Amino acid sequence: MLSDWINLADAERDGLAKLDQGPRDYFAGGAGDEVTLRENVAAWGHWRLRPRVLNDVREVSTVAEVLGRPVDLPVLVAPVAYQRLAHPEAERGMAVGAAAAGTVMCLSTLSTTRPAEVAAAAPGARHWFQLYAFKDAAVTRALMDEAIEAGFEAILVTADAPPGGNRERDRRNRFTLPRELGTPSLTAATGGSEALTIEQTFALMNHALTWSDVESLASECSIPVFVKGVLTAEDAVLALDHGAAGVVVSNHGGRQLDRSLASADALPEIAETLDGRAALLVDGGIRRGIDVATALALGADAVLVGRPALWGLAAGGHEGVAAVLGLLREELELTLALCGCTSPTDLGRTHVRRAPVTSVYSV
C-alpha cells in the first residue's frame, strides 16, 4: 500500500515485486560487477552534514529554481527508457506523478509514448527531452523538433552512451523487449514501421559523436541543451565551451562504465570548477532527502532520480510516482529545517564535510 511507505526502500520493494525477472533486472541492474551501481548509493553516505542551529525554521520551503523557473522540489525525474514495461500508464503516468509533485519530468528518446501525449497528460507541467544522437542526423533532428513542438523546454544530450554498457543480468536473462512495445517517435523518425529491438536501436545511434556535434546541436536548438553523463571537470568545461547551458553529472545509474566514479564523488570538482557559471544537475543513487541536501550543498542546482520514480510507477502508476517524490520532499524539508535552513538556496559548501574514514556509513 502506497500510504504505508515510510521511505524509498518501501517503494523499491513493492515496485520490484510487481515485475517479472526480465524487466526487473533490466531496470534494477547495472554494468559489469555493478560496482558503480552500488557506489552511487553508498557515496552520498560518505558525506556528513554540518547543521546550523537556532535559525527559526517554522517556515521551510523546498521550492527551487531550475533554468530560471521554479520547481516545488529540486528533484527532477530522470529519463528512463521503455516505461511501459513497468506499468500500463508508462510515461504518461510518470508525467502526471511528476506534475503532482511540481517538478520536471525528462522523457527518454527510448520512450514508449510520444512527447505530445506526455504533454497532454500533464498540461502546464514542465518537460525536458533526453536525446540520443543517431548516425542519420535527420533522425536526431526529427526527435528534437518533435519535443520542441510539444512544448518541451530543454534537451539533455546523453554523452555516456552508445555503446550500451555490459549489462550481464540482461544477457543472462536473454532479455528482449516484448514485440508490442515500441518507441513510436523513433520509429516515426526512422521512417520504419516495425518496433526496434534494443540492439537494433543502439546500432542506429551515432558512436562517433564529438564535442563539435554538441556545438552544432546547441547552436541549432531553440531551447537550452545540457550534456548528460559528465564525470570530470575537464568535460564540464568543454560542455560549456561548446554551447551547453549546463551539465548533468551522471554515470547513467551505473549502467554504462562499471567502476566509473560515483556521482557524489564526481560532483565536488565539477561544482568547484563551474562555480555557478552554468546549470548543474546530478543523478545516481539519490534515495534520501539527505542525499538531495548533500548534492545541493555540494553545488548542484537540483538532482534527478531514475529508479526510485520507476519503482513508484511500477508499484502504483502516477500515484506511486507522486508518493515517491512526496517522500523525498518531506525528507528534504525536515533535513533543511534540522540544518537550520529555510530554503534549498540556504545550503552551501559549509554544510557538508567528508565523513571520517572510520565512520563511513555503508548502505
Ligand X SMILES: Cc1cc2nc3c(=O)[nH]c(=O)nc-3n(C[C@H](O)[C@H](O)[C@H](O)COP(=O)(O)O)c2cc1C
Residue numbers at the binding site for ligand X (CB under 6 A): 26-27, 40, 78-81, 108, 110, 130, 158, 228, 250, 252-253, 255, 283-286, 305-307
Could you say which of 46, 127, 242, 252 is catalytic? Answer: 252
User: What is the rounded distance in angstroms from the CA atom of residue 81 to the CA atom of residue 64?
Assistant: 27
Q: Which residue is nearest to ligand X (CB)?
A: 306
Q: Report which of 181, 177, 184 is spatially closest to residue 198, judged by C-alpha positions.
A: 177
Choose between 34 and 319: whose C-beta lies nearer to ligand X. Answer: 34
Cis amide bond preceding 123, omega within 30: no
192 Cα distance to chain centroid:
29
Closest contact distance (angstroms) between CB of 54 and ligand X is 35
Closest contact distance (angstroms) between CB of 106 and ligand X is 7
CB-based contact 71:292 (threshold 8 Å):
no
Choose between 60 and 115: whose C-beta lies nearer to ligand X. Answer: 115
Q: Is 183 helix (H, G, I), strand (E, B) or coil?
A: coil
Choose between 60 and 93: whose C-beta lies nearer to ligand X. Answer: 93
Q: Report which of 76, 118, 98 is spatially closest to residue 322, judged by C-alpha positions.
A: 98
Give the sign of the dihedral formed by CA 247, CA 251, CA 256, CA 259: positive
Closest contact distance (angstroms) between CB of 37 and ligand X is 8
- Residue 238 phi/psi, 5° resolution? -60, -40
Is there a catalytic annotation at residue 252?
Answer: yes
Closest contact distance (angstroms) between CB of 304 and ligand X is 6
Choose between 115 and 284: whose C-beta lies nearer to ligand X. Answer: 284
Active-site positions read 252
